[in-house]
Structure 1
C-alpha cells in the first residue's frame, strides 16, 4: 500500500523510488519480482539494460553533456533485503509490501525489517538514472542479488560486464563514515542425527521461550554485547541438563542476524518438576541481571504444555548443549591496526532441533583471512568433538583498505567542504560486496558510503530522513566532481 507520508519526505525522488521497491517482496534468493521490476524501470527510461547469468541487473546511462571526458562510475547496491518480523506481527513477506511509517526523523516499518539496507542505496541509484537535471559522468548502475545470504550476485558477476573506473558502493550505514574496507565471511554448519525415544507417561511437558531481544546485524552490531537467544536458551537448558528430556529447539533465523528469539520443547518427570522450576528461575535471574542494561526487554519463560511424544537421549542432548556452550560466539578478536574495529567474530545464528536432526548455522567474519579460518576451525573442532558433522560454505574475501585511493581523496574533500567537518575514514566488520567485486575488477577504485540506518536486520530497522537528505546532496556533488580521465 502506498504511504503518502513517506513519499512526501525530502528528497522526494529518493523516497518515492524507495516506496516503489518496498512494495515488492525481495527476499534473498527470491528476487525474481524485483529483478523484473528493475529491468522494466531501465527500459522505460530508454537506457541500456541487461541481466547477467546470475540475475544481477546492469543499467547504463550516458554522461550528461560536458561530462563525457570524466572517469566513468559504477553505482552499486544490492536488491535483496533481510526478512525479519516480531513474533506477534501477522505479515507475509512473500506477498506483502513493507508497511512504512514516519516517526519524527525516522522512517520505520510496522514490526518488520524496513529494507533500507540496501533499499535506500537502490533508490538513490534509481534517482540518478531517472533524473533529468543531474550532472554526472557515464554511469553503470549495478544492482546485485543475494547479498544478504551469500553474496552470490557479486561472486557470480563475471569480468567484462563492467567498464567503469570508479565504484561507489552505497551500502554503508553511518552518514559520517567513508568506508574503505570490510570483513570477509564463511558459513559454518554443524549437523547431527539422533534416535528418538518415547517419553514416559509420568512426565509433564514444558516450553521454554526466550524473547524480547534486540537482535541486529551480526557484523555491525556484534560488538555491542547484545544477547544471543541461542546462547541464552542453551544456558537455561544446561541448568537442568540432568533432569530434562529435550524434544525440540527452534532458535534464530538468518545467519547475518543476531538471534532474537528461541523456543524449546521438553519434558520432565513429575518428581523433578520442583527442581526444574527452581533451577530455571535461578538461571533466568542471573541472565536478566547480566543483560539488564543491554537487553531491558528480555524475557525467559517456562510454561507447562502438552507432553511431547518423543525426545532425544541423555547422551545426544548432552552433546548438543556442550557443543553450544563451548562454541565461539560474539567478538573473537579486535583489529590491532584500526581502533575499535572488530577483526574476527562469530554469530551462532540458527539452532533447529527436531525430527531426529540437529542443525546449527553460524556466520564467521574476519578482516583477516587467517583469523577467519582460525575461528571457523575452532568451531569445527568444538562441534566434531561432540559428534557433529561440519561443513564450510559461502566463503567470501574481505576488502583490504587503500588509504591512497584517488576517489577517497575526492570524497573527503567534498565532505569537508559540504558539512564543515571531517568524515571518519573506516573499515567495517560487515560484509560489503567490494571485496568480491574487486577480485573480478582489481583495477577499479572502490569506496562505500550511505545514509544513517539503525537496527539493520531486525524489526527495529529505521532510516534517518535528514541523513538521507545529506546523503543525496553528497552523492550529487560526488558525481558532479568526478575527475577527468587521464590522457594516454
Structure 2
C-alpha cells in the first residue's frame, strides 16, 4: 500500500497523472494540456497532430514482431469536470489539483480529482513512453470537451486514423468490459424575464439547498440522489401557495452532466411573513431529510438574510412560469432496459439553472441507448417550452454505441482476463455518453471496447480513484496488447 504521493508517482501511470494534475484542464480550457501532450510527443520523436479542436493524435510504431498486427486506437479525453466544495479557495484555470492518499484511494483536496478522464491520459502517456511494453502500431487520440459538448470527438477527422480497433479508457469499473453506451443531447429551455420594480418594505432572503451528494448524471442517475434544482422548485411552489413573495433570482448546478448539489433562490418578503417563511423552511428540512435519508442524509435547506437592496424582481407571471418550469421539466429515470437487468435505458437531468438580465435558462442532459426514446424526451421538453412561451435550444447531440455481438477485441479481452483470473469478466453497458459512439459513427467497421479502473463519486469533490485497481487495470491493458500477436484476427 502506498502512503505518500512521492512513492506513488514512482509508478509510471501515477507519475503522468501527477504531471497532468498540475495543468488546468477544465472543459473548454484545454489549450495548456493539449500543448503539453504535443511537447511530450515531440520530445520522444513521435508523430503528432493537434487539430483545430485541440484534439491530439500521437502515433507510435509497433514493437518488433508486432508489425503485422492490426493498428490499435487508444482513446480518452483530456478535460475534466471542475467542482469544488463551498468555501474552497481553488482557481481551476491556474491552480494545480492537490493530490492526497487515504488508505488505498487517491483523492484531490476539496475539488474533483479529474481521474475522469485523467486516467486515460496517464495510461496513454505511460504506454507511449515505455520501452518495455509490447504492442502493435498505436494511434493515441486524446479529445477535448467530452464533459460538456463532445465537441472534440465530433471534430475528429477520421482520415487521420487508420486503426479499426478502438480501446477507450473512460470506463469506471475494474473487472468489467464496457460494450455499449447511451447517446445524448443537451436541451436548454429559455424563459424571457419580465422585470418589475421591487416593492417597498420587503426584505431579501436566500433559500439554499446544500448537502446533496450529486454525481455523474448518467452513472449515478439510478441512485435516487436529490436534484437541488428540482428541490428548489418544490419549495418555491409550496411557498407560493401559502406566503406572498417576490422572486428575484434562481441559480443552481454547474454542469448538465452532473446531478446538481447546490441551488440558491433569492426571494423578497414582507416583515409579517418572515416567521411563517422560517417555519416552512424548517418543515422542508424535515420533509427532505426523511425522503432522502438513504441517498442524501446530509441534505439541508438554509434561509439567510441578504443585505443587498434589490431594485427589480420577476413579474408574477415570470415567477409562475419559472416555478412551473422547475416542476414540469422531466428529470431522472425515464425508462429501464428490458434486455439488460438494472440498466437505465433513458433519463434526463435538469443540471443547470441560471438567471441572466433577460432570461432564465433551464439546461438538461438527456440520454438514451434507444434513439427514438431520446427523441421522445426532447419532444416532451418542446411541448413544455411551447406551453410556457419559452424557446428550446438543442445542441451537442451525439449517437449511442450499440452492442456488437461479433466484437473481436471484446473476445481478446475476455480471453486474457480468463487466463489471468480463472473466471469470466463481466460484460456491461453504461447509461452515459462515451465517445465510442461518435468514433464508430465516423469510422465504419470500428471494433470498440472500453475499460478503466474503479472510480467513485466522479464529478464531485469526493471523487476518488482506487490505486490498486488502477495498477491492476494497467497490467491487464498491457497483457492484452502483448497477446494481440498470438490472437487469431481472421477467425
Give 1:4 shift.
9.8
Contact 1:7–1:15 (Cα < 8 Å) also in 2: no
Contact 1:252–1:258 (Cα < 8 Å) also in 2: yes
Q: Which residue of 1 aligns with 2:64?
A: 65
Give 1:52 shift.
2.5
Write the mapping of 1:334-349 to structure 2, written as runs, cut at 5 A.
334-349=336-351
The CA RMSD over aligned residues, in Å, is 1.7
* Cα displacement string for residues 166-189 of structure 1 (whole angstroms, at most 9, x for unaligned residues): 110000000021011100000100
Q: Which residue of 2 aligns with 1:290?
A: 291
Q: Which residue of 1 aligns with 2:148?
A: 149
Q: Which residue of 2 aligns with 1:50?
A: 49
Give 1:376 shift.
1.5
Q: Which residue of 2 aligns with 1:458?
A: 460
Q: Which residue of 2 aligns with 1:482?
A: 484
Q: Which residue of 1 aligns with 2:274?
A: 273
Contact 1:11–1:469 (Cα < 8 Å) also in 2: no
Bigger Cα displacement from structure 2, 174-183 vs 374-383 = 374-383
Bigger Cα displacement from structure 2, 134-143 vs 351-360 = 351-360
Q: Which residue of 1 aligns with 2:447?
A: 445
User: Quick one: distance in 2 between partners of 1:229 and 1:186?
Assistant: 21
User: Quick one: distance in 2 between partners of 1:36 and 1:354?
Assistant: 34
Q: Which residue of 1 aligns with 2:256?
A: 255
Question: In 2 relative to 1, CA 368–379 (structure 1 residues): closer, same or farther, beyond 3 Å?
Answer: same
User: Quick one: distance in 2 between partners of 1:472 and 1:132?
Assistant: 15
Give 1:62 shift.
0.7
User: Quick one: distance in 2 between partners of 1:55 and 1:122?
Assistant: 14
Q: Does 1:25 align with 2:27?
A: no
* Cα displacement string for residues 314-373 of structure 1 (whole angstroms, at most 9, x for unaligned residues): 111111111211111111100111111101001101111253421111100000110001
User: Quick one: distance in 1 between partners of 2:353 and 2:198?
Assistant: 22
* Cα displacement string for residues 286-315 of structure 1 (whole angstroms, at most 9, x for unaligned residues): 112101111011110112222532211111
* Cα displacement string for residues 213-248 of structure 1 (whole angstroms, at most 9, x for unaligned residues): 111100100110001010111111111115110001
Contact 1:74–1:164 (Cα < 8 Å) also in 2: yes
Bigger Cα displacement from structure 2, 109-118 vs 48-57 = 48-57
Q: Which residue of 2 aligns with 1:221?
A: 220
Flag structure 1 segments of 5+ consecutive residues without an equivalent: none
* Cα displacement string for residues 189-219 of structure 1 (whole angstroms, at most 9, x for unaligned residues): 0112222222222212111011111111001
Q: Does 1:384 align with 2:383?
A: no
* Cα displacement string for residues 128-162 of structure 1 (whole angstroms, at most 9, x for unaligned residues): 10001111111111111111111111111122111
User: Quick one: distance in 1 between partners of 2:127 and 2:287?
Assistant: 53
Flag structure 2 segments of 5+ consecutive residues without an equivalent: none
* Cα displacement string for residues 37-66 of structure 1 (whole angstroms, at most 9, x for unaligned residues): 000000111111111232211111111111
Write the mapping of 1:292-311 to structure 2, written as runs, cut at 5 A.
292-306=293-307, 307-311=309-313
User: Quick one: distance in 1 between partners of 2:428 and 2:401?
Assistant: 12
Contact 2:24–2:94 (Cα < 8 Å) also in 1: yes
Q: Which residue of 1 aligns with 2:198?
A: 199
1:413 pairs with one of 415, 420, 434: 415
User: Quick one: distance in 2 between partners of 1:236 and 1:197?
Assistant: 23
User: Quick one: distance in 1 between partners of 2:95 and 2:218?
Assistant: 28
TM-score, normalised via structure 2 length: 0.96
User: Quick one: distance in 1 between partners of 2:9 and 2:395?
Assistant: 42
Bigger Cα displacement from structure 2, 90-99 vs 352-361 = 352-361
User: Quick one: distance in 2 between partners of 1:443 and 1:354?
Assistant: 46
User: Quick one: distance in 2 between partners of 1:462 and 1:486?
Assistant: 37
Contact 1:265–1:308 (Cα < 8 Å) also in 2: no
* Cα displacement string for residues 424-477 of structure 1 (whole angstroms, at most 9, x for unaligned residues): 111100110000001111212110011111111111110000101110110110
User: Quick one: distance in 2 between partners of 1:7 and 1:169?
Assistant: 29
User: Quick one: distance in 2 between partners of 1:148 and 1:387?
Assistant: 30
Give 1:276 shift.
2.2
Q: Residue 190 of structure 1 aligns to a residue in which SS?
A: strand
User: Quick one: distance in 2 between partners of 1:390 and 1:111?
Assistant: 35
User: Quick one: distance in 2 between partners of 1:223 and 1:379?
Assistant: 21
Q: Which residue of 2 aligns with 1:395?
A: 397
Contact 2:225–2:296 (Cα < 8 Å) also in 1: yes
* Cα displacement string for residues 394-438 of structure 1 (whole angstroms, at most 9, x for unaligned residues): 100000011220111110111122123322111100110000001
User: Quick one: distance in 2 between partners of 1:273 and 1:211?
Assistant: 21
Q: Residue 4 of structure 2 aligns to a residue in which SS?
A: helix
Give 1:117 shift.
0.4
User: Quick one: distance in 1 between partners of 2:104 and 2:463?
Assistant: 13
User: Quick one: distance in 1 between partners of 2:356 and 2:70?
Assistant: 56
Question: In 2 relative to 1, CA 239–486 (structure 1 residues): closer, same or farther, beyond 3 Å?
Answer: closer
Q: Which residue of 1 aligns with 2:138?
A: 139
Contact 2:9–2:18 (Cα < 8 Å) also in 1: no
Q: Residue 74 of structure 1 aligns to a residue in which SS?
A: strand
Q: Does 1:370 align with 2:372?
A: yes
Question: In 2 relative to 1, CA 121–398 (structure 1 residues): closer, same or farther, beyond 3 Å?
Answer: same
Q: Residue 88 of structure 2 aligns to a residue in which SS?
A: coil
Question: How many pairs were matched up?
Answer: 486
User: Quick one: distance in 1 between partners of 2:82 and 2:476?
Assistant: 29
Q: Does 1:187 align with 2:186?
A: yes
Contact 2:182–2:401 (Cα < 8 Å) also in 1: yes
User: Quick one: distance in 2 between partners of 1:194 and 1:143?
Assistant: 41
User: Quick one: distance in 2 between partners of 1:284 and 1:310?
Assistant: 29
User: Quick one: distance in 2 between partners of 1:101 and 1:455?
Assistant: 16
TM-score, normalised via structure 1 length: 0.97
* Cα displacement string for residues 87-128 of structure 1 (whole angstroms, at most 9, x for unaligned residues): 111100001110010001100000100010010111001111
